[in-house]
Structure 1
Amino acid sequence: MCRRRCEKGGYAGACRDRDSEDESNTEVEADRFCEQGPMLTDILHRVVSNPTIYDTVQLVVGVSPHLDRRLAANLGETPARPTILDVGGGTGLPPSLWPAGATYVCMDIDPVKLAGFRRKDRPGVALRGDATHLPVRTGSVDVVVCKNVTHHLRDAQVPPLFQESARVLKPGGRMLFIDAVRAPERWRSRALWRFDRGAHPRLVATLRQSMAARFDIAHWEVFAYYHRYVFGVGVPL
């Protein structure tokens, strides 16, 4: 009823107040839900750690296509038959993102996620490894992809991630970096962080500074979809 009256020109101020009240109530309920305690959080973490459920959540929430479009636009600008190292790749990127003839290496520290990648029977190599100590030769990779990884790392682990990524890249190689950042003013983001396995969201400026210590940043973008995200493209210094 409130919406119909607004369309007729009446009670506009009341409708605005009602909309604000509804948004405020939703925010309060979200924060209250987030305070249910560590038991619920632990249960959700265990459920989502299943690779099939993890992929389904990414698809239903609809975030991955927005992130992957940015990656695809830059993965096309690579040498012929490039080697792509996906650091913290989880269950892997869709093959449709890779250039023709690419060698794709999905590296993750979680063997369960890598098993999920193998079950997809996609082309590519599954490699278990630590993002801060990459088990890859120096100067052997054309592109390093790092998608939604740094929020899983402690502060002391972030510089080694960028250092190692720069080390393994060939001259002229590029790092494609995406992660969600702290946005406490966004209640949806607060709710998602509460139940995310990553406990270390950072500010935009902090991540840019960390990347700039090892890379010449050719592109830097901030966008929002539930979370607020940064997307950076860098060439090793």
Structure 2
Amino acid sequence: MNEDGRGPSAEPLLALIGDHRESIREALDDTQYALLLARLGELAEAPPEETMAVRRGIRGVELALRPLPFTHPLRAALDRVRLVAAPPGPETVSKALRLVNLLANPEPDPDPAPAPAPGPLPRPAPGSAPGSAFAEDHAPDPLLGEPALSPAEARARCGGTPPPELIRLLDPPNGDCYPEFQFPRGCGTPHDVVLRVNRLLLADIDPRGAASWWLGSNTWLGGSPASLLGRLPDQELVSAAVALVEGE
């Protein structure tokens, strides 16, 4: 934790990528590794003074690392690093740039240390939250069991292409879907407050994380945010999302 009680910033994640760069390259295929380099490049190009752009870049890097096997030491660290907890600073961008250069142009290690033995495959903790790494790969996705609209239904409700802020969950066997809570019951375009909150939660690059926030229990609000749409003032929902993003 930081001195102010917040979770760690993104910089420890960048340091871990540098420390484990050789094993990351071995664990990812060419396409996955190219995506990681691209996401690091986007972070390195983000204007340091634009906090949301930097956070978006950080989140892209974290998602690009998700294909790592469970036995990789960085995979476990991903769930411990709260990327949105502490505001990123200008140093985050400069570190990302150095990391891109390091990964794209690796130098042989003159005295490589022996690789640590892989640990046992982690087992899910009791009451694992939706969207956990184990749930993603080893169990049906509970988010896909929620009421949802098909892409065609979402286009009809939006009067055209749905805005990118809307949560769209990937479901290859059955077709992608848009969680229904984002729309008024029966008819109508998406709730304005849903679009506002989804922008804060970066739903366009992390739809599962945004959906988990809306559909999960929120002790501050006294229920799941989705169930409180129309029952609480919109600003209370926005404030709860801001508190998450700012790590309060």
Is the strand fraction higher in 1 or 2?
Answer: 1
TM-score, normalisation: structure 1: 0.25
Bigger radius of gyration, 1 or 2?
1
> Normalising by structure 2, what TM-score?
0.25
